[in-house]
Homo-oligomer: A and B are copies of this chain.
Amino acid sequence: MPTAVVVDVLRATSTIAQALAAGYRRVLCCAEIEEAWALRERLGEGVLAGERRAAAIPGFDLGNSPREFLEPRGDTLILSTTNGTRAIVAAAANAGTVLAGSLLNLDAVVRAAREAGSDVEVVCAGVEGRFTLDDAYCAGRIAELLGGERSDAAEAAVRVARSFGSALEGLRASENPLHEKLGEDVDWCARESVLTVVPRLAGMDGSATEIVV
């Protein structure tokens, strides 16, 4: 079974890394809003956070900006986002180890993926199933630092990443109009290796994936 590194650099996997670094003990990722509500009901605890198309979800405690997760508001974060959460749920079905990768924890996640000792597959969340340059940039940085033999797709991602002068340029390159709503989050998420946490999939809680460090 390969090791999967899921990337939704703007913003779900950056937010997961930031939340766990700040002190949340686990992040429960739900693909659907209704699952997030039901999970908090069942657990009797949990901070509800997430977004749909870069907008806040009515009734939730927090959005999906990593800057909202500098201090923990509880032990459990219940997160539902448009693309990243769904990619983690999907990756869990096909990989042995599932890690959440971002630029924030770049070095740490590369080291952990290398130590897992199997082939590494970087899974880009994209937007509604489509390829995006921001995730490809992050995937290319991961593949470049991993070294070893590369698939054609990994080699292409490395070449795309190298074509940008900086991480910020790579993250800003997407034509996704929703990115204009992200403001300073893009600058925040473009910082490389400022966190040492390696979020990893611990298991499933019903249909939700439990991510811990």
Contacts and interface: CB of A to CB of B under 8 A. Distances in A.
A196 interface: no
A57 interface: no
Interface string A71-91: 000000000000000000000
Interface string A149-177: 11111011001101100000000011110
Quickly give the copy total for this chain.
2
Contacts of A133: 152, 155-156
A74 B146 CA distance: 53
A156 B175 contact: no
B162 A175 contact: no
A97 interface: no
A186 interface: no
Contact of A160 (B132, B159, B173, B174): B159
User: Most B CB atoms within 10 A — which of A136, A152, A162, A173?
Assistant: A152
Contact of A173 (B131, B136, B155, B173): B155
Contacts of A136: 152, 156
A178 to B, nearest CB: 12
Nearest to A127: B152
A139 to B, nearest CB: 11
A163 B156 CA distance: 9
Contacts of A42: none
Contact of A159 (B152, B159, B174): B159
Nearest to A155: B133
B160 A131 contact: no
Interface string A116-134: 0000000000000011110
Contacts of A149: 175
11 contacts: A130-B153, A131-B152, A131-B156, A133-B155, A136-B156, A152-B173, A155-B173, A155-B175, A156-B156, A159-B160, A163-B163
Interface of A: 130-133, 136, 149-153, 155-156, 159-160, 162-163, 173-176
Which 4 residue pairs spanning A and B have beta carbons closest together? A159-B163, A131-B153, A133-B152, A156-B160
